[in-house]
């Protein structure tokens, strides 16, 4: 076996590692130089043979390979083979006699007989004289009368029926022998039904004697006149409809034009929001000077009003501050009573069990009161951030104790339970009761509840 292995030696050639004896000796592990075109030392005769073959193929010579044993492929039983086998067993004489047989079509009946009876040959019968007979017949049909042709056809049909009856009778006899009575009855009934309908059809086909119908009582003419009248009426109706439609379209167009005119006068919402193209925006100042002036007046007055209000507000606030600065203690207390600092009691919102706390983010919470602000406050900041969301909506109390933890799955997630389950205090004891009451009065940890009044500074 020959394997290609890249040796760990720092050479850049791939050496054949010869695993068959003789094993590589120390000398063979030495680095050999490579010459282009020269077969290396390790190339054996086998390799040489293979190389010769590949070269021969390249040159186009026939490559001689070892002859292998033929593989027998089993095919399906060929009918030809079977026939061959059968013919081998046959007698020569029998074969010759068979050859002498004339394989020609059987003549069921002769055309001459049919013509004598005055009938047309069946189309599906294969006779040698078919083509000739057909041509003859086609020549004859225009000569004969239509009545005779009809009679002939009728006779043919009757014969057909008789033949079918005979066939069915034979079939029925066979089936009577094989099957039960119920099926026979059905078949008989069917065949009877079929033959009845056919009989009636053919009975109706018998021609009536032609009788002259005067023009007035002829249906065809009356029908034609009726059709003409209907056409005329339809035309009239069409004309009327078209006129109506014209009137309608005129009305619609008028409405459309009126609506457009109105829309053009008003600035549509989209244009108000996004603006229009350069050409659409008219900045001519000569038009409507009066209107422009009026609009400006409105704007200017609103600006003046705004300025005045702001000035007054600021002046009032400054004055108030001045007054407070110079008040005496009693006045201050009175003032405080008059304007108590109403701090809304922060109702602690009820959160679900193990609800996660999401911080709103410290940035982008602009105050609305910024008078110079161009960007307002987004409505998203007014959302209720204490509402449960995502995983908070699931009831975590039905989970096993181990999983009742935020971020379940992270390492080190044991919930600190304040060792309540390991607590063996007997809470019925009097001393402990007194202690817990005292603690509750203080509020733990001390300082959590603000129950003293802080000195309030006055802003100057």
Give the interface with other proteins as residue ranges (CB under 8 A). Answer: 271, 274-278, 280-285, 292-293, 295-297, 299-301, 303-305, 307-308, 310-311, 314, 370-375
> 120 near 156, Cβ under 8 Å?
yes
User: Smaller CB distance to other proteins: residue 321 or 332?
Assistant: 321
- Contact assessment for residue 320 and residue 339, using Cβ atoms and an 8 Å cutoff: no
Give the shortest CB-277-to-other proteins separation in angstroms: 7
* 311 versus 332: smaller Cβ distance to other proteins: 311
Which residues are within 8 A (CB) of 317 and not within 5 positions of it... i.e. 6 or more apart?
A: none
Minimum Å distance from CB 291 to other proteins? 11
Min CB(246)–other proteins separation in Å: 40
Task: Let me know: does 321 contact 460? Beta carbons within 8 Å.
Answer: yes
What whole-number distance in Å separates Cα of residue 9 and Cα of residue 17?
A: 13
Of 81 and 292, CB closest to other proteins: 292
Q: Is the CB of 372 or the CB of 456 nearer to other proteins?
A: 372
Closest to other proteins by CB, 246 vs 303, is 303
Q: How far is the CB of 308 from other proteins (least distance, A)?
A: 8
Nearer to other proteins, 297 or 383 (CB): 297
Please name the residues in contact with 353: beta carbons below 8 A apart, sequence gap of 6 or more. Answer: 395, 396, 397, 404
Count the Cβ atoms, other than its own, within 10 Å of residue 423.
9
Q: C-beta of 457: minimal distance to other proteins in Å?
A: 24
Name the residue nearer to other proteins (CB basis): 273 or 418. 273
- How far is it between the farthest Cα atoms of the chain? 156
**Is residue 231 left, alpha or beta, with left meaning phi > 0 and alpha meaning psi from -120 to 50?**
alpha
Which pair of structure tokens corresponds to residue 395?
A: 């009831």
Which C-beta is closer to other proteins: that of 293 or that of 381?
293
Q: Cβ of residue 283: shortest distance to other proteins, in angstroms?
A: 4
Following DSSP, what letter does each residue of 327-340 receive, concatenated? --HHHHHHHHHHS-
Decide whether 228 or 300 has the Cβ nearer to other proteins. 300
Residues 163, 428: Cα–Cα separation, whole Å: 117
Sequential DSSP letters for 111-127: HHHHHHHT-PPPTT---
Contact (CB, 8 A) for 156 and 122: yes
CB of 459 to other proteins, least distance (A): 17
Angle CA 385–387–393, to nearest 5: 140
Nearest approach in angstroms of CB 455 to other proteins is 30
Least distance in angstroms from the C-beta of 370 to other proteins? 8
Residues whose CB is less than 8 angstroms from the CB of residue 110 and which lie 6 or more positions away in sequence, other chains included? none
Query: With respect to other proteins, which residue has the nearer C-beta, 223 or 366?
Result: 366
**In whole angstroms, how close is the CB of 285 to other proteins at the nearest point?**
5
Q: Are 17 and 3 in contact (CB under 8 A)?
A: yes
Separation between Cα atoms, residue 261 and residue 245, nearest integer Å: 24
SS3 label, residue 243: helix
How far apart (Å, rounded) are the C-alpha atoms in residues 17 and 39? 16
């Amino acid at each position: 076996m020959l394997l290609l292995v890249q040796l760990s030696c720092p050479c850049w050639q791939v050496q054949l590692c010869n695993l068959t004896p003789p094993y590589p000796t120390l000398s063979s592990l030495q680095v050999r130089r490579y010459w282009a075109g020269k077969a290396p030392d390790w190339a054996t005769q086998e390799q040489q043979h293979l190389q010769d073959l590949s070269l021969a193929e390249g040159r186009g010579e026939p490559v001689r390979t070892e002859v292998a044993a033929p593989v027998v492929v089993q095919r399906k039983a060929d009918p030809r083979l079977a026939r061959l086998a059968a013919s081998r067993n046959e007698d020569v004489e029998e074969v010759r006699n068979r050859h002498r047989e004339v394989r020609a079509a059987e003549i069921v009946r002769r055309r001459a007989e049919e013509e004598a009876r005055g009938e047309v040959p069946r189309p599906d019968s294969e006779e040698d004289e078919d083509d000739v007979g057909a041509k003859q017949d086609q020549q004859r049909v225009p000569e004969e009368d239509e009545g005779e042709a009809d009679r002939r056809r009728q006779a043919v049909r009757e014969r057909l029926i008789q033949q079918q009856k005979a066939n069915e009778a034979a079939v029925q006899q066979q089936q009577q022998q094989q099957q039960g009575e119920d099926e026979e009855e059905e078949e008989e009934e069917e065949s009877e039904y079929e033959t009845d309908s056919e009989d009636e059809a053919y009975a109706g086909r018998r021609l009536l004697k032609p009788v002259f119908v005067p023009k007035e009582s002829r249906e065809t003419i009356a029908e034609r006149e009726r059709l003409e009248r209907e056409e005329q009426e339809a035309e009239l109706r069409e004309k009327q409809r078209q006129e109506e439609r014209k009137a309608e379209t005129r009305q619609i167009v008028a409405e459309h034009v009126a609506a457009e005119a109105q829309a053009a006068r008003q600035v549509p919402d989209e244009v108000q929001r996004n603006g229009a193209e350069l050409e659409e925006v008219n900045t001519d100042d000569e038009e409507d000077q009066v209107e422009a002036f009026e609009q400006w007046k409105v704007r200017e007055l609103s600006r003046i009003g705004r300025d005045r209000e702001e000035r007054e507000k600021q002046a009032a606030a400054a004055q108030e501050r001045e007054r407070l600065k110079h008040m005496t203690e009693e006045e201050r207390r009175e003032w405080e009573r008059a304007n108590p600092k109403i701090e809304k009691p922060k109702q602690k919102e009820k959160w679900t069990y193990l609800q996660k706390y999401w911080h709103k983010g410290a940035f982008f919470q602009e105050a609305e009161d910024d008078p110079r602000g161009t960007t307002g406050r987004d409505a998203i900041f007014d959302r209720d951030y204490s509402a449960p969301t995502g995983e908070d909506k699931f009831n975590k109390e039905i989970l096993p104790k181990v999983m009742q933890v935020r971020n379940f799955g992270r390492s080190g997630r044991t919930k600190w339970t304040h060792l309540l389950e390991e607590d063996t205090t007997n809470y019925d004891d009097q001393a402990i009761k007194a202690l817990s009451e005292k603690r509750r009065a203080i509020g733990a940890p001390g300082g959590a509840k603000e129950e003293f009044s802080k000195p309030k500074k006055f802003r100057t």
